[in-house]
Amino acid sequence: MPQRAALIPPGRTIGILGGGQLGRMTAIAAARLGYRSHIYAPEAESPAAEVAAAFTCAAYDDEDALARFARDVEVVTIEFENVPQETLAFLAKRRPARPHPRALAICQDRLAEKRFLAEHGIPVAAFRAVDGSDDLETAARELGLPLVLKTRRLGYDGKGQIRVESADELARAAATLPRGAVAERLVDFHLEISVITARGADGARRSYVPVENRHEGGILRTTLAPAPIAAALRQEAVALSERIAEALDIVGLLAVEMFVTRDGRLLVNELAPRPHNSGHWTLDACLVSQFEQHVRAICGLPLGSTARLFDARMDNLLGADVESWPAHLTDPGVRLHLYGKREVRPGRKMGHVTRLLPPGRD
């Protein structure tokens, strides 16, 4: 049975790998509970560093810098899953790492992730490993067309994915095949949902209500809380998420993205062992946000309530959308969150807005 981790009391320092907006909001939540945050990131412009007590700007393979970082913190966590697994493993020898390196290694490799889920009886789309053009032809024959070809690593916001619908497209995909890929049968889905589950070192768990996610160009545009699905399906989605968190031995947060098929089944698509974009609505609509919940879990504090005070709609401000910030400030039903990023680029997440709505019935 899991055992309660040694309590890391307020006043201590949390080490966060990654300097983006998820780290920024985690550091703000940590400060509310009396913790300091130390950000480690290779990018000099790191939004999280602007709200943290300390910042190390160094490469993820700089062992001298990592050792100094470890000496300054009590626990290490991540704000995105593309941190090298070797970096987390190096730190885990010196400080508690939450998530642990094995969970990170699974979640940052799409093929390892699919195999892990299938081995644990979690429903996923049919898939095949693809390491060359012969494998791709075999996948197309066994899975059928259309299919989706995805890089095993470093794919996010729709990057690293190719939709293949015909023999001609299959030939073109083979010519540009990324090294190490996974082919998945295209899912005919009704909508996409996600569940964010928190799990403590003692095995305690709390899950937020499943939400609907709407994407544009592979990037999350809108999250609706709660998802417009039947109560039984919500319960099933939460149960699946909590099973996965336990199987991975997660301490902290796990975001589980799923498809709801047109015949009413759930298929797990991707995992993220960290705070997640689809949980931003919890900052304004829940008793305890996903960011505070993550801090509680990794520091050995009791998990907080996931009760929803409002229904909510969260919209990402992508690229030039951020210029609309004055209008959002004049809308009494909207909460504005800006990330402090200096450069505006198309598709870049510059902030988000959450519209609070009267709570409906579950």
Domain-located, residue 8: no
Tell which of 185, 220, 255 closes a domain: 185
The half-sphere exposure of 188 on its side-chain side, counting CA atoms within 13 A, is 5
In this structure, the answer to whether residues 339 and 195 fall within a common structural domain is yes
* Same domain (yes/no): 209, 319: yes
We report the CATH number of the domain holding residue 216 as 3.30.470.20
Residue 121 lies in a domain: no
| Last residue of one domain, picked from the residues 54, 76, 107 | 107
Q: Are residues 232 and 277 in the same domain?
A: yes
The pLDDT, as a whole number, for residue 169 is 84
pLDDT of residue 1: 41
| Structure letter (DSSP) for residue 217 | T
Question: Both 319 and 225 in a single domain?
Answer: yes
Is 202 found in the same domain as 57? no
Here the CATH number for the domain that contains residue 83 is 3.40.50.20
Residues 202 and 309 in one domain: yes
Quote the tokens at residue 340: 């402090």
Would residue 316 count as lying in a domain? Answer: yes
6 is a domain residue: no
Whether 181 and 221 share a structural domain: no
Which pLDDT score, from 0 to 100, does residue 108 have?
94
Q: How far apart are CA 265 and CA 212, in angstroms?
A: 15
The full length of the chain comes to: 362
For residues 207-225, one letter each, b for 16 or more C-beta atoms within 10 angstroms of the residue's C-beta and e for the rest, the string is: bbbbbbbeeeeebbebbbb
CB neighbours (10 Å) of residue 298?
Answer: 28
Q: 14: number of CA atoms within 13 Å, CB side?
A: 36
Q: Is position 3 within any domain?
A: no
Whether residue 145 is contained in a domain is answered as yes
User: Domain span at residue 233?
Assistant: 189-357
Q: Which of 196, 195, 204, 197 lies closest to 303 in space, CA to CA?
A: 204
- Does residue 164 sit in the same domain as residue 265? no
Can you read off the two tokens belonging to residue 32? 């509310």
Same domain, 181 and 194: no
Give the model's pLDDT for residue 3. 45
Q: What pLDDT is stored for residue 2 in this prediction? A: 46
Domain boundary among the residues 107, 136, 164 is at: 107
Tokens of residue 94, six digits: 């010196």
Domain assignment present for 62: yes
- Are both 97 and 205 inside the same structural domain? no
- CATH label of the domain that carries residue 172: 3.30.1490.20
Please give the average pLDDT of every successive group of 10 residues along the chain, which has 362 residues.
70 98 98 98 96 98 98 97 95 98 96 97 96 88 91 69 85 75 92 98 96 94 98 98 98 98 96 98 98 98 97 98 97 96 95 92 58
Looking at residue 171, its pLDDT comes to: 78
Overall number of domains in the chain: 3
Minimal CA–CA distance to 279: which of 358, 168, 198, 187?
Answer: 198
| 296 shares a domain with 205 | yes
Tell me, yes or no, whether 77 lies in a domain.
Answer: yes
Q: What does the alpha-carbon distance between residue 341 and residue 103 come to, in Å, rounded to a whole number? A: 30
198 and 229 fall within a common domain: yes
Secondary structure (3-state) at 185:
strand
